[in-house]
Amino acid sequence: MAYDAASPSRSAAPVQADFKEVLAHLAGGVAIISCWDEGTPRGLLVSSITGLSVDPPRFLFCVRKEARCHDALATATECGVALLSADDRDEAWRYASSARASERFSPERWRLSPGSPPAYRGGLARAHCVIDSVADAGTHSILIVTAKESTLSPARPLVAWNRGFL
């Protein structure tokens, strides 16, 4: 089948609101990214995380520049990555909602040890990572991180889709 530039399936650049809706329907794994900010633990929920390579062991994820945690992550040297499981739905909502920010980093759910990034005790997998690079990408920054150590607890993943979780 030949490509027809006048075909109705090819549209002009999408309107921002329309494209935001398209992105909401892109299913993805969910992770909490954590770091220290002058002795205060910071973290945010991302659904943009992907494995980048095995050698070296790298993740790539995007952070909205308006996120409260953005500047702390952009200047940090290390971060924690917690891939969430289906059992971590409440933790995901805690990090997705700024109204619940005071509930984050409970010592029952998090290891808060100086010298390493805040580490979630639950989840499907956890990694202690070095931040390799931060690249400008318009409204977001793209972070590439290398895992120094990682652990896996086999479970069903938590998936973000259509502004909720599956």
Q: Is residue 133 part of a domain?
A: yes
Q: Is residue 111 part of a domain?
A: yes
Q: Is residue 89 part of a domain?
A: yes
65-93 pLDDT per residue, tens = 999 999 999 999 999 999 999 999 999 99
Q: Is residue 19 part of a domain?
A: no
Rounded distance, CA 87 to CA 56, Å?
A: 29
Classify residue 136 by burial, with Cβ atoms within 10 Å: 0-12, 13-18, 19+: exposed
DSSP state of 162: T
92 and 30 in contact (C-beta within 8 Å)?
A: yes
Q: Is residue 84 part of a domain?
A: yes
% of the chain surpassing 70 pLDDT: 92
| Mean residue pLDDT across the chain | 90
The reported pLDDT for the residue numbered 17 is 73
Rounded distance, CA 33 to CA 62, Å?
A: 10
Instruction: Please give the tally of structural domains in the chain.
Output: 1
Q: Is residue 12 part of a domain?
A: no
The reported pLDDT for the residue numbered 91 is 96
Please give the residue range of the domain that contains residue 83: 26-165
163 and 25 in contact (C-beta within 8 Å)?
A: no
Q: Is residue 78 part of a domain?
A: yes
Q: How confident is the model at residue 114 (pLDDT cuts 50, 70, 90)?
A: confident
pLDDT at 5 over 50: no
> In the Cβ-directed half-sphere of 1, how many Cα atoms lie within 13 Å?
4
> In the Cβ-directed half-sphere of 104, how many Cα atoms lie within 13 Å?
24
Q: How confident is the model at residue 7 (pLDDT cuts 50, 70, 90)?
A: very low
Q: What is the CATH number of the domain that holds 137?
A: 2.30.110.10
SS (H, E, C) 56-103: CCEEEEEEECCCCCHHHHHHCCEEEEEECEHHHHHHHHHHHCHHHHHH
Q: How confident is the model at residue 98 (pLDDT cuts 50, 70, 90)?
A: confident
Q: Is residue 143 part of a domain?
A: yes
Residue scoring higher pLDDT (13 or 137): 137
Q: How confident is the model at residue 105 (pLDDT cuts 50, 70, 90)?
A: very high
| Adjacent-strand bridge partners of 63 | 141
